[in-house]
Amino acid sequence: MAVVSIIGPKGGIGKTTLSINTAAALTRLLPPRDKKSDNRVCLFDLDLRLPTISSLLDSHPNKSFYDLFETLANKTWQIDFLRNFYQIISRFQWFLEGRIDAGDENLARCLAHFRNFNAELFLFTEFPQGDLLHELILDRNRVLAPKDLTLLRPILDRLDMDAFRQTLKRHENNSWPIVEEFIKYIEEYHFSILGGEIPILGKKAHRKRINEPELLLLFLDVLGKVLKRYDYVILDTPAGGVHHLSSLINVIDQVIFVFDLSNNIAVNGSIDALHSFIDYYEDFYQDFQDHKLTGLDKAHAQRLVAERGEEAVLNSLKNKKLGIVFNRCQNTREIPPSLKKLREYLDTLDKLETYKDRIQIVGMVPHHKVINITNNRGALFYNKDQGLTGHVDQIAQSILGADARPTLNSPDKDILRFLKIQNWLGFSKKLGRIASI
Ligand SMILES: Nc1ncnc2c1ncn2[C@@H]1O[C@H](COP(=O)(O)OP(=O)(O)O)[C@@H](O)[C@H]1O
Ligand SMILES: [Mg+2]
């Protein structure tokens, strides 16, 4: 599986447009595994604030991310919390019954967990005996050492552990989301989409919850299960990355940076954002190597290491492919000055040497009215205009790792020749028009 993030500095520069059409191009270029299963590409709307893909394509999964979030927050997360709580209390009771002593390592761990875990989001009233659990939490500051556990005895004595176990059992089977419900395979385009149309972060309680590492980890777990089913996953990544899902962004294989050529300010913004991205990537890679990741990043990385091995994760970080797509290009003459600016900027920051061979130029999409028109009609431009098709195919071929791409280090004329070739192929009948591009 390869995960590709299409990312860019701000809204309105074409990330979603390029994600959708690149997914279509990839789907067409990949040979189907067999006739029945050509479902190898997944397009994934990572925008938690303003998801747009499902309405753009007028295609709606049974359940959106909003539902996923609800399920995780209100069910899975709650049950996980409850399960932890049960284990902690069991230890406490063993101690009070004299079955383990005060030096027990697990008891110390449970005590620390009990004192620190975040109970704010737990819905005490939703569960039988929730009031007793709440009382325990209210008393927890008094419990500093194992001997203080006797203070909890009156509450613990009232707690029916058999009933507690029954509650856990009852919820066990239906607390985990069914991933199929969140995927929609689009017959017309032969790829799947994942995402939703309701902004998850529109709800205040969700905005609060999204900062909970435990919950985000569950979220990433579910996403991981879905992503594994596909050969290629295209992430439509909202402006500036996704703060809350940055752990996901950090471990993906390829990043395609949308470089907005529509005006000078956009060009400067794109350059700056590309540099910030590199900075962030370097920090993450370094922290991973030094075992200094913290919080969600750490937890997520640990899971990946457990799954694939440390070396594989390290390699995928080290070899992360970085590419640029120029979008909204009115004329290819705009490209060399932007490249010059980008090189100079990276050079000033001592990054050019490291990245000049690494940052590939993977494609270019002209500013074209067909794009806007088809977008507004909820359709792909990919199959509507041959010239544009060529450009998107070029991006998709880069993702497939076809042949060598020019890099930031290539002479401008090679870069331009590469970007223009597709015009000639695509527009063989419209040579007159293409000559002016
Ligand atoms: N190359 C292009 N030519 C013409 N219109 C474009 C081009 N790229 C994007 N657009 C238009 O710009 C608007 C914003 O694009 P979108 O993909 O939604 O941006 P983002 O996802 O970065 O916010 C859309 O209306 C889209 O049709
Ligand atoms: Mg978008």
Phi, psi angles (nearest 5°) of residue 9: -75, -30
Residue 406 bridge partners (DSSP) = none
Q: Identify the top-confidence range among 125-139, 226-240, 288-302.
A: 125-139
Average pLDDT, rounded, for the chain: 87
Residue 207: predicted pLDDT: 76
Residue 229 bridge partners (DSSP) = none
Residue 267: predicted pLDDT: 93
Q: Do residues 381 and 283 share a domain?
A: yes
pLDDT confidence of 243, banded at 50, 70, 90?
low
CA pair distance 277, 350, nearest whole angstrom: 15
Q: Do residues 311 and 428 share a domain?
A: yes
SS3 category, 12: coil
Q: Do residues 302 and 429 share a domain?
A: yes
Q: Do residues 310 and 380 share a domain?
A: yes
Residue 365 bridge partners (DSSP) = 327
Rounded to whole angstroms, what are the CA distances from 434 to 77, 83, 139, 362, 429? Answer: 56, 64, 75, 20, 10
pLDDT confidence of 437, banded at 50, 70, 90?
very low
Q: Do residues 422 and 323 share a domain?
A: yes
DSSP state of 72: I
Residue 99: predicted pLDDT: 96
Mutate to test the pocket of ligand 1, among 10, 43, 371 (most ligand atoms within 8 A of CB): 371
CA pair distance 363, 276, nearest whole angstrom: 21
Q: Do residues 126 and 195 share a domain?
A: no
Residue 434: predicted pLDDT: 41
CB 197 within 8 A of CB 119: no
241 or 364, higher pLDDT? 364
367 lines ligand 1 (CB under 6 A): yes
CA pair distance 220, 251, nearest whole angstrom: 12
Residue 429 pLDDT > 60: no
CA pair distance 332, 18, nearest whole angstrom: 18
Distance 275 CA to ligand 1 centre (A): 23
Ligand of minimum distance to the alpha carbon of 381: 1
| 254: in domain | yes
Residue 155 pLDDT > 80: yes
Residue 432: predicted pLDDT: 39
Q: Do residues 295 and 226 share a domain?
A: yes
Which structural domain, as residue segments, surrounds residue 392? 2-57+190-435
| 197: in domain | yes
Mean pLDDT of 144-154: 96
CA pair distance 400, 133, nearest whole angstrom: 53
Token pair for 245: 């899902």
Residue 435: predicted pLDDT: 40
pLDDT confidence of 106, banded at 50, 70, 90?
very high
Residue 65: predicted pLDDT: 80
Tell me which residue has its CA closest to atom 15 in ligand 1.
Answer: 14
375 lines ligand 1 (CB under 6 A): yes
| 62: in domain | no
Q: Name the CA dihedral angle for 312, 316, 318, 321, rounded to a multiple of 10 degrees.
A: 160
Positive or negative: CA dihedral 304, 310, 311, 317: positive
CA pair distance 107, 102, nearest whole angstrom: 7
Q: Do residues 138 and 279 share a domain?
A: no
Q: Do residues 39 and 150 share a domain?
A: no
Residue 431: predicted pLDDT: 41
Encode pLDDT of 263-320 as tens digits. 999 999 999 989 988 998 899 999 999 999 988 888 888 888 888 899 999 998 999 9
Q: Do residues 289 and 351 share a domain?
A: yes
CA pair distance 61, 196, nearest whole angstrom: 7
Residue 424 pLDDT > 70: no
CATH number, position 421: 3.40.50.300
* Range from 15-24, 199-208, 209-218 carrying the lowest mean pLDDT: 199-208
Number of domains in the chain: 2
| 320: in domain | yes
CA pair distance 371, 13, nearest whole angstrom: 12
User: C-alpha 163: how far from its chain's center?
Assistant: 39
Q: Do residues 262 and 126 share a domain?
A: no
Q: Do residues 26 and 112 share a domain?
A: no
